[in-house]
């Protein structure tokens, strides 16, 4: 895979070319592992599945189909289910659709908050009565003054916190009642760009970016090309072997962004991702987010940069003020039908 040259391409239309290269791993090897992680994160009950599941031909050990009794189904009934404990069947029957209806929100939603509140200790609530839904493949900006609760809302989205009250549904599962030992499987489906970077201090820039792929089980030969391509895209090829302590704030920010998007997460959450970079790089990073969004990732960005928000046509604005979400028309809680994205087969 050719890794060089991404930084020398024209700014317009580059995301498609870059992601076409990166998809060599995402679509060949990481596809199988990412899907396995997705399976592990889902509730252990029957869910609908398409017949062309990539795990059916996954080269990884143990990733195949077998007949097994599925929890929650009539006694004695068996069917082809994934060995990776997701218990998803290959066909979709009426009974499976009935089970699905009890465990998922609408098919177009990836996130749903219902009357969520959060307080630390016995003090006043930091967030109050937060209700909204995020459509699959949507692009959202969270705006608001400092101290309004934007970062706290993002922490609920990437499962760093649990609410004090209300319902939080991600990927069709209730996060409030989910056992703690099942949270890591869901977190692997979320890419996070932290405001304070949170790079692993003893790992180089290359190894920090490669970390999500290694956790997903991608082999070293398969991850070298995509990681080099991503470093080239954020203009850090020359700093690939530098430790975080030797990088500037803007360079650390770009490493954090590359790490968050390298595995093509289903949900990307970014807290002020362009706060430490120059305007040209900010536009370039936004193009990277847009390219990922066009490939189906739901993107949520907290920012103060109004000009940046205007660069993404069709993006939804979420404004947080004093711990409350402004939604005078109800469009965030009950999005119009035009925003709904129908389910399609996993590829």
Among the residue ranges 74-83, 148-157, 267-276, the one predicted with the least confidence is 74-83
Write out pLDDT tens, residues 163-217. Answer: 999 999 999 999 999 999 999 999 999 999 998 899 999 999 999 999 999 998 9
Dihedral sign for Cα atoms in the order 250, 293, 266, 132: positive
Among the residue ranges 98-102, 116-120, 307-311, 336-340, the one predicted with the least confidence is 98-102
- Please name the residue that has the structure tokens 């949170």: 198
d(CA 336, CA 120): 34
The mean pLDDT of the chain is 74
**pLDDT number for residue 41:** 42
**pLDDT number for residue 55:** 38
**pLDDT number for residue 327:** 86
**pLDDT number for residue 149:** 92
**pLDDT number for residue 107:** 56
**pLDDT number for residue 113:** 96
Choose among 11, 18, 10, 12: nearest CA to 231: 18
**With 50 as the cut, is the pLDDT of residue 74 above it?**
no
**pLDDT number for residue 64:** 44
Residue 248 contacts residue 238 (beta carbons within 8 Å): no
Per-residue pLDDT band for 276 (boundaries 50, 70, 90) equals: confident
d(CA 220, CA 232): 18
Terminal Cα distance for the chain, rounded = 21
Residue 298 contacts residue 25 (beta carbons within 8 Å): no
- Please name the residue that has the structure tokens 């099942």: 182
d(CA 297, CA 302): 16
**pLDDT number for residue 336:** 66
Write out pLDDT tens, residues 308-323. Answer: 888 898 899 999 999 9
**pLDDT number for residue 94:** 36
**With 50 as the cut, is the pLDDT of residue 54 above it?**
no
Per-residue pLDDT band for 24 (boundaries 50, 70, 90) equals: very low
Share of the chain above pLDDT 70, in %: 66
- Two tokens at 180? 């703690």
**107-133 mean pLDDT:** 91
Show the domains of the chain with their CATH numbers: 106-339 (3.40.50.300)
**pLDDT number for residue 70:** 40
10 vs 334, which has greater pLDDT? 334
| Helix, strand, or coil (residue 343) | coil
**149-163 mean pLDDT:** 94
**pLDDT number for residue 205:** 97
């Amino acid at each position: 895979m050719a890794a060089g040259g991404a930084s020398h391409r024209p700014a317009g239309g580059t995301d498609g070319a870059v992601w076409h290269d990166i998809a060599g791993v995402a679509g060949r090897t990481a596809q199988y592992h990412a899907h396995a992680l997705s399976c592990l994160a889902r509730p252990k009950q029957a869910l609908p599945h398409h017949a062309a599941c990539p795990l059916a031909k996954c080269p990884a050990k143990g990733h195949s189909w077998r007949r097994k009794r599925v929890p929650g189904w009539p006694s004695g009934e068996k069917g082809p289910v994934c060995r990776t404990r997701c218990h998803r069947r290959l066909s979709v029957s009426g009974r499976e659709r009935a089970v699905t209806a009890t465990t998922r929100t609408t098919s177009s939603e990836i996130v749903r908050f219902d009357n969520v509140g959060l307080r630390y200790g016995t003090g006043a609530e930091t967030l109050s009565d937060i209700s909204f839904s995020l459509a699959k493949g949507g692009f959202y900006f969270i705006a608001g003054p400092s101290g309004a609760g934007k970062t706290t809302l993002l922490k609920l989205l990437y499962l760093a916190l649990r609410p004090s009250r209300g319902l939080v549904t991600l990927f069709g599962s209730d996060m409030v009642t989910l056992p703690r030992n099942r949270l890591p499987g869901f977190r692997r489906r979320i890419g996070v760009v932290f405001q304070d970077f949170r790079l692993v201090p003893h790992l180089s820039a290359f190894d920090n970016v490669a970390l999500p792929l290694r956790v997903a089980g991608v082999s070293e030969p398969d991850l070298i090309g995509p990681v080099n391509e991503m470093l080239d895209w954020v203009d850090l090829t020359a700093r690939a072997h530098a430790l975080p302590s030797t990088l500037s704030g803007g360079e650390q920010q770009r490493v954090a962004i590359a790490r968050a998007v390298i595995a093509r997460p289903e949900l990307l959450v970014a807290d002020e991702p362009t706060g430490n970079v120059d305007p040209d790089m900010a536009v370039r990073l936004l193009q990277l987010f847009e390219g990922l969004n066009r490939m189906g990732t739901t993107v949520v960005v907290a920012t103060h940069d109004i000009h940046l928000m205007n660069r993404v046509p069709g993006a939804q604005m979420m404004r947080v003020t004093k711990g409350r979400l402004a939604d005078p028309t109800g469009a965030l809680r009950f999005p119009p039908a035009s925003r709904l994205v129908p389910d399609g087969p996993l590829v």
